[in-house]
Amino acid sequence: MKAKLLVADDEKNLRELYKTELEDEGYEVATAANAVEVLKLLESGEYDVIVLDIKMPGMSGIDLLQKIMARDKHQPVILNTAYPSYRDNFMTWPAEAYVVKSADTTELKQAIRKVLAKRA
Amino acid sequence: MKPIFEKALTVIMAGGRGERLYPLTRDVAKPVVVFGGTYKIIDFTLSNCFNSGIRQIYLLTQYSNLTMTRHLRLAWDPLFRGELEEFLETLPPQHRSSEDWYHGTADSIFQNIEVLERHKPEWVILLSGDHVYKMDYSRLLEYHLDKGAELTIAAVEIERAQAREMGVMGVDAEMRVKTFVEKPADPPAIPGSPQRSLVSMGVYVFNTAKLVRELIRDARTEGSQRDFGRNIIPNLVSNGEPVFAYPFRDERHRQPAYWRDIGTLDSYYAANMDLVDPYPVINLYDTAWPIRTYFGQHPPARIVDSSIDLGLHGKVVDSLISSGCVISGALVERSVLSPEVRVHTGAQVSQSILMNGADVGRRARVHRALLCPGVMIPDGATVGLDPDADRERFIVTEQGVTVIPGGFEW
């Protein structure tokens, strides 16, 4: 069965890039533009991995991570951000992985594979 | 603040309900149960912090109430200066990383990771709000640094038989912790002292990064009780992390220092009775390490020979008598009296704890009893002399202490 991913990023182009590339990897991919959309999707569905951007309008990925953890501490989350500086923030440590964004999605794909392998 | 504490954050865990101290905790939160006549239990840990030179403290609580808020405001708030970035803050559950109340000691810290993030301390000093002892935490922190530890646990030697309710450690010659078992049925002894065990005082120094990682890991572990003693520490020890025990000793008397966990009515009673020993094992009169509290306004204690015609003399032996007490023509021995207690003509009070405003009527006898605030003993009544009769009306503990809850109607 295909693994289900949920990818949140406020940039439309990036969302489309991730969707295409991750679907090519064989995943089922849902996308969200902000925290509200993520929380709404979580009400009706379950995801094997959630990939969160940190800087999003409204609730940040860090606050959203906390909300997700409050619902389900076992939900794997990957933080995918342009800023390496949040790596030291304790609030990001519950994430399974911290990926610094680049045009190349190799690292993100690797992180997703690793998390899924750990779950299996 | 003492320089060594500049990169440290101190957190006092005072979130327990204190059910085993019922009825003392019926009307007040456990940290503010009266102890030693005029103090609250929490005053000992806070005094240790203050005397050690710690000026940034969070108090984690979830059963706070008016008494607690008022006590902290009156006794402690004036000692911390906001302008100097000093604080003593009470933190109830934030409901951010969890929808729940605190589940265990570790969970209470896990739910406050954002507080650790805000301060970004190198070390977290974790204390408990319900212990009676006098300890300089700067020595503990120095020891932690000297040992290069990830976690240092303050430890004290006690009788092996009493260690069943504690976290018991096995250490090597360097004091590195090799084993840790919480509440073992058969506590391991200290090598060479078959009747003694080394137990955790529930006083810890953690390297913050390690603490945070462990809390997150623990939060995801199914079946964990979210407890430092049951889960976090045993896991660190079995993973071979550098965990050290800090031997808490009385250097002057070359013996293990005084430390008591006030968890039950019997331990509460026993620790109060320690104070009335002719040579008390814990000294409240040491000006170098004062135990602070808020005393309130009371007239001086008064002991009178009010009934000379009856041949009854007011007499007090081996006792702590707080301000505002009046003992008239009555005998009080080996007892602890909180403020505004009255003991009337011909009464006899022995080996008892009388809390604020308790009143012992004429010719009444009170022995090995704990009277909650405001309890009135009628003229001629007896308490603590007939356990079976007491059990029908009051609480009698395992050790045979009669406890009369506040508001009891005779």
pLDDT of residue B143: 98
What amino acid is encoded at B289 in this protein? W
Residues of B in contact with A62 (CB under 8 A): none
Q: Could you tell me the CA-to-CA distances from B224 to B53, B218, B238 in Å, in that order? A: 35, 7, 16
Q: Which of B272, B270, B258 is nearest to B397 (CA)?
A: B270
Using CB atoms, which residue from B98, B117, B219 is nearest to A90? B117
Q: How confident is the model at residue B311 (pLDDT cuts 50, 70, 90)?
A: low
In the beta sheet, which residues pair with residue B153? B204, B245
pLDDT of residue B310: 63
Which of A87, A90, A91, A118 to mutate: most B Cβ within 10 Å? A90
The predicted-structure confidence for A96-110, as pLDDT tens digits, reads as follows 999 999 878 999 999
CB contact under 8 A, B114 and A94: no
The predicted-structure confidence for B146-155, as pLDDT tens digits, reads as follows 999 999 999 9
Residues of A in contact with B117 (CB under 8 A): 89-91
* Cα–Cα distance, B96 to B18 (Å, whole number): 25
pLDDT (average), residues A72-89? 94
pLDDT of residue B107: 87
User: In this predicted model, which residue has the larger pLDDT, B272 or B19?
Assistant: B272
- Return the residue matching tokens 């990925």: A61
Measured between CB atoms, does A89 come within 8 Å of chain B? yes
Which of B9, B94, B95, B97 to mutate: most A Cβ within 10 Å? B97
Residue of B nearest to A86 (CA): B117
pLDDT of residue B104: 83
As given in the structure block, the two tokens for residue A82 are 């342009």
Please, are residues B183 and B128 in contact by the beta-carbon 8 Å criterion? no
Q: How confident is the model at residue B309 (pLDDT cuts 50, 70, 90)?
A: low
B98: closest CA of chain A, how far (Å): 4
The predicted-structure confidence for B73-123, as pLDDT tens digits, reads as follows 999 999 999 999 999 999 887 776 666 777 888 888 988 999 999 999 999
Using CB atoms, which residue from B96, B114, B219 is nearest to A73? B219
As given in the structure block, the two tokens for residue A99 are 């990926």
pLDDT (average), residues B223-228? 90
**HEC assignment per residue over B347-375:** CEEECCEECCCCEECCCCEEECEEECCCC
What amino acid is encoded at B260 in this protein? R
Q: Which of B376, B364, B379, B371 is nearest to B401 (CA)?
A: B371
The predicted-structure confidence for B131-164, as pLDDT tens digits, reads as follows 999 999 999 999 999 999 999 999 999 999 989 9
Please, are residues B29 and B18 in contact by the beta-carbon 8 Å criterion? yes
Please, are residues B93 and B110 in contact by the beta-carbon 8 Å criterion? no
- What's the count of helices (H) and strands (E) in chain A, helices before strands? 4, 5
Q: What is the ipTM of this complex?
A: 0.84
Using CB atoms, which residue from B114, B219, B220 is nearest to A91? B114
pTM of the model: 0.91
CB contact under 8 A, B98 and A89: no
Element holding B114 (H helix, E strand): helix B113-119
pLDDT of residue B281: 87
pLDDT of residue A120: 73
CB contact under 8 A, B212 and A90: yes
Using CB atoms, which residue from A70, A74, A91 is nearest to B220? A74
Using CB atoms, which residue from B97, B212, B216 is nearest to A70? B97
As given in the structure block, the two tokens for residue B185 are 């049925």
Measured between CB atoms, does A118 come within 8 Å of chain B? no
Measured between CB atoms, does A33 come within 8 Å of chain B? no
Size of interface A-B (CB pairs under 8 A): 31
Q: Which residues, at least 6 apart from B107, have a Cβ–Cβ distance to it below 8 Å? A: B98, B219, B226
Measured between CB atoms, does A70 come within 8 Å of chain B? yes
As given in the structure block, the two tokens for residue B241 are 């992390």
Give φ, ψ of B310 to 5 degrees. Answer: -90, -5
**In chain B, which residues touch A (CB < 8 A)?**
95-99, 113-114, 116-117, 208, 212-213, 216, 219-220
A87: closest CA of chain B, how far (Å): 12
B113: closest CA of chain A, how far (Å): 7
The predicted-structure confidence for A14-59, as pLDDT tens digits, reads as follows 999 999 999 999 999 999 999 999 999 999 999 999 999 999 999 9
Residue of B nearest to A89 (CA): B117
